A and B are shown apart, each in its own frame.
Chain A
Amino acid sequence: MSEHPSVSQLVSAKAIDARAADWLERRDSEEWTEEDDVAFLAWLAESHIHMVSYLRLKAAWSRADRLVVLRQPSPVPGGEAPRLFSVVVRIAAVFVVAALLTTDLRLATAPQPKTYATALGEHSRIALADGSSIELNTDTVITVSNTAIVRVVTLEKGEAFFEVKHDAKRPFVVMAAGHRITDVGTRFFVRRDPGRVEVGVTEGRVAFKALARTGALQLAAGKVVVATQNDVVVTTKSSTALTNELAWRTGMVVFNRTTLAEAAAELNRYNHERLVIADPAASRLLIGGKFRTNDVETFARVARDLLGVRVKDEAGEKFISR
């Protein structure tokens, strides 16, 4: 995963530490709610930088627990630092600390996410213990954190289709590039491309909260939301259009008046042999039809026969021009 640039690079380590410290302090307090837990786990799952920042502060803060050996019989008079501990106390403390040190530092609170991945052209289905399932499209990485009160899936890259067994007590949350999708009893897909996240609902309802927005959008079946750096656009699609978008689940891809450039980009998600549209005139031609995701050959032949373009094989790439 380290090949991908981290989200974090946009935010300073200091700011992330401040956020991690905030979580850490609040987790200790009485006012911690289940909602906080969902938000906390989602934040943790968002980036490895968040995780390491939290682990580091948590470890240091736990180490400070050993200061308790410095506790005096009478309360510390407000204000004075414990400069005043006697030598005897200090020596005794060393032995207590030595004993404490042998105990494990394991972090009981941290979730234990599992990572699943598919290679280019691969497709796999994961059955979760709660009866939900996740289908991974080509070149996809997800992380699943299952806890008693929340299920968090982070889409690191690629595309996945979710069939969620709804559980009001254990919300199902998908994080993608900082956007948050919460299931309300549902089938939906999430696709993450550089700078763009798309969510489509085929059944039921989800709540979508964009990274930079405060409120969440309620998306019913047929709704598709596309979030980019600055915009969040919601459209309605027919069930046929949605089914077509999900044709990858059966190893197919459907084009309908799609430009050659878009069609090539789509097929390139699945294959090592890349399609390169070599001239702008060819890239604007429209193509339609249903193709196997792994059959570049047929696509190229159809394009040649129907659109009259030329196809040239070169060094594992197919160059298409007029």
Chain B
Amino acid sequence: MAEPVEQSRENAPQRPQGVVVSTSDAEAWFVREVLPLEATLIQFLRHNWRNKSEIADLRQEVYARVFAAAINEIPEKPKPFVLTTARNLLINRMRDDQVVRIDAVADLDSVDIAVDEPSADRAIIAREELRQLQDALDRLPKRARQAVILKKIEGLSRREIATRMGIAEKTVKRHLTEGMCALADTLYGADGNRRKKA
């Protein structure tokens, strides 16, 4: 078994006293470079972690660690960085659980995290983007889809949506927030990826 490497300590050098680091770059970088890797990240976590109900929590924890590191210094290669962070998190979790899953660790070691895929053509991305959005929209529960359409396509306010749909504002709010979470899962997560390959 390879010696686990503490990613965060290696990549986050001690900040000298009084140095100022702004996070706005880290935010933009996170949205641009890290979120598009979500399908890959989830696939990696699913493959290497048995308790599937913990995948979303692990994914979020990986994001938080990656973001924390990016505040210090934007990693040069997002994909290897994200996957190495995920790998180290899983190793730490296994250690905490005091359950050594040898097969899982072996898998982790064999992961080729150095490869970065070439980015696709912009026009293709645009076409793909709209298709993905429509897919995501189609997969929402009916009422949530209606609310999102009225909000995003018709540009209506919460109150106007409530009137149009004949439901309480509170319910509109619930449909919209539900829609937000589902859209994010489909647009970034494994769901969208599976669909793309189908």
Contact = CB atoms under 8 A, between A and B. Distances in A.
A117 B15 CA distance: 7
A306 interface: no
B4 interface: no
A24 B149 CA distance: 17
A98 to B, nearest CB: 4
Contact of A119 (B8, B14, B23): B14
A78 B145 CA distance: 11
Contact of A63 (B63, B149, B177, B187): B187
A105 B31 contact: yes
Contacts of A240: none
Interface string B11-28: 010110111111110011
Contacts of A116: 18-20
Given A68-B155, A105-B28, A115-B20, A76 B133 contact: no
B75 to A, nearest CB: 12
B97 interface: no
A190 to B, nearest CB: 19
B152 A68 contact: yes
Residue of B130, B137, B158, B164 with highest tally of chain A CB at under 10 A: B130
Contacts of A278: none
A55 B31 contact: yes
Interface in A4-29: 6, 8-9, 12-14, 16-18, 21-22, 24-25, 28-29
B138 A81 contact: yes
A9 B61 contact: yes
Interface in A84-114: 90, 93-95, 97-98, 101-102, 104-107, 110, 112-114
What's the interface size class on B, roughly?
Answer: 35 or more
A170 B12 CA distance: 33
Contacts, number: 199
A52 B63 contact: yes
Interface in B97-143: 122-123, 125-127, 129-130, 133-134, 136-138, 142
A53 interface: yes
Contacts of B24: 106, 110, 112
Contacts of A126: 18
A79 B167 CA distance: 13
Interface stretch (A43-51, A247-255, A314-322): A43-51
Given A2-B12, A112-B23, A118-B17, A21 B59 contact: no
Contacts of A47: 64
A107 B61 contact: no
A107 B31 contact: yes
B137 A67 contact: yes
A82 B146 contact: no
Contacts of A75: 154
A69 B127 CA distance: 12
A56 B37 CA distance: 12
Contacts of A292: none
Contacts of A117: 15, 17, 19
5 nearest A-B residue pairs (beta carbon): A21-B177, A60-B184, A2-B8, A98-B126, A48-B64
